[in-house]
Every structure is written in C-alpha cells, then in structure tokens.
Amino acid sequence: MKTRSITIHVNGEAYNLNVAVNRTLLQVLREDLGMPDTKYGCGTGECGACTVLLDGGRSILACLSLAALMDGARITTVAGLEVEGSLHPVQEAFVKEGAIQCGYCTPGMVMKSVSILAKNPHPTEEEIRRELEGNICRCTGYVKIVQAIQKAGDAMASTC
C-alpha cells in the first residue's frame, strides 16, 4: 500500500487521516495536523528534539516512526501537558530554573523528563544524565535542566 487510513490520538483528540506510508509521525504532526510544538532536529535519531510519548509512557522519536504504523496510538506532545491553563510541573520547573535558552530542544527535553519522572520520581543526577543521553542541548550545558527535573520530581511528589 502507498497510503493507509489511520486513527491517531494526539493529546486526547482523535484524528482520522489517510497518510502516505513514507511519512513520519513528525511530518504528520507538524505538517498535516499543524502542530509545530514537536521539533525537527537531526532526523536520524540522535538529538531527541522530536521526542513524544507513546500510550502515555514510553518516549519515542517521531522522526523515526512511520505514521502509517500508528493506527490507534495515543501520542502526547509537549502541547498536551498543560491542564486547563496550568503548566505541567516539569514545564513549570524548566521556567523557574531557567533550564531554557534558545528553547529548540525544550519540547523534546520536557517530554523525556516527564517519562523519566514517571518511572523514577526522585532520580539522582547521574540517573537523569544517563536518561537524557538522547536529548542534545547546545545552549544550557544541562546543569539547569538536571536541576529542573529534580525540582519537578519533588513538586510532583508533594502534590500527590
């Protein structure tokens, strides 16, 4: 087949699409659905800018996922983290700690951080740095990002 009809759930909304089979999830999000919050960095699985969450948990790369194989998948992008106008604790912590400079890696960085904290609410610096290995930031030097993730973990633990 050259095209495939799929239903894909993005940030809680269902979309029925007929996608060309050679289109990546990243192209479909950005170009077909008009959701530019997920970024294109390297396109080859090295930088993590296009990180999204699959079925609420696992972090995957939208640039290396065929949209045609995503029928029924539930995708969360950075725009889907906010609840009724309130930022997610990870987003809040990135802002407060100044873990952003140019901001291009931030959507992927935030999504990876959410998946880290879902598995491990109080990660050590070493654990965070290992898990962030696939997300490249060329501005911050990572120190503030690591701090933001730890602060977010603490904030999330104290609210539940």
Partner 1 sequence: MSSRILPEFDLLVPQSIPEAVEMLTKYQSKAAVMAGGTDLLVLMKAGLKSEYVLSLAEVPGLDYVIYDPVAGLRIGAMATLAQIVESGSVKEHYPALWQSAVVNGTPQTRNKATVVGNILRASPAGDCCVAALALGGKVVLQGAAGTREVDIDHFWVAYRTTARQAFEFAVEYRIPANAGKSAFKRMTRADQDLSKLNAAAWLNMSGNVCERARLAIGCVAPTTVRMKQAEEILKGKEITEGVLKEVEEAVKSEVTPIDDVRSSAWYRKEVSGILMRRTIQKACA
Binding site for partner 1 (CB under 8 A): 1-2, 4, 21-24, 27, 40, 42-46, 48, 51, 54, 58-61, 63-66, 68-69, 112, 115, 131, 133-135
> What minimum distance in Å lies between the beta carbon of 134 and partner 1?
3
> What minimum distance in Å lies between the beta carbon of 48 and partner 1?
6
Residue with Cβ nearer partner 1 (52 or 81): 52
> What minimum distance in Å lies between the beta carbon of 98 and partner 1?
25
Q: Which tokens go with 124?
A: 């050590």
What's the per-residue H, E or C state across the chain? CCEEEEEEEECCEEEEEEEECCCEHHHHHHHHCCCCCCCCCCCCCCCCCCEEEECCCEEEEHHHCEHHHCCCCEEECHHHCCECCECCHHHHHHHHHCCCCCCCCHHHHHHHHHHHHHHCCCCCHHHHHHHHHHCCCCCCCCHHHHHHHHHHHHHHHHHC
Q: How far apart are CA 16 and CA 127, in angstroms?
A: 39
Residue with Cβ nearer partner 1 (58 or 138): 58
> What minimum distance in Å lies between the beta carbon of 13 and partner 1?
23
Residue with Cβ nearer partner 1 (45 or 141): 45
Residue with Cβ nearer partner 1 (21 or 143): 21
> What minimum distance in Å lies between the beta carbon of 119 and partner 1?
10
- Looking only at Cα atoms, what is the longest distance across the chain? 50
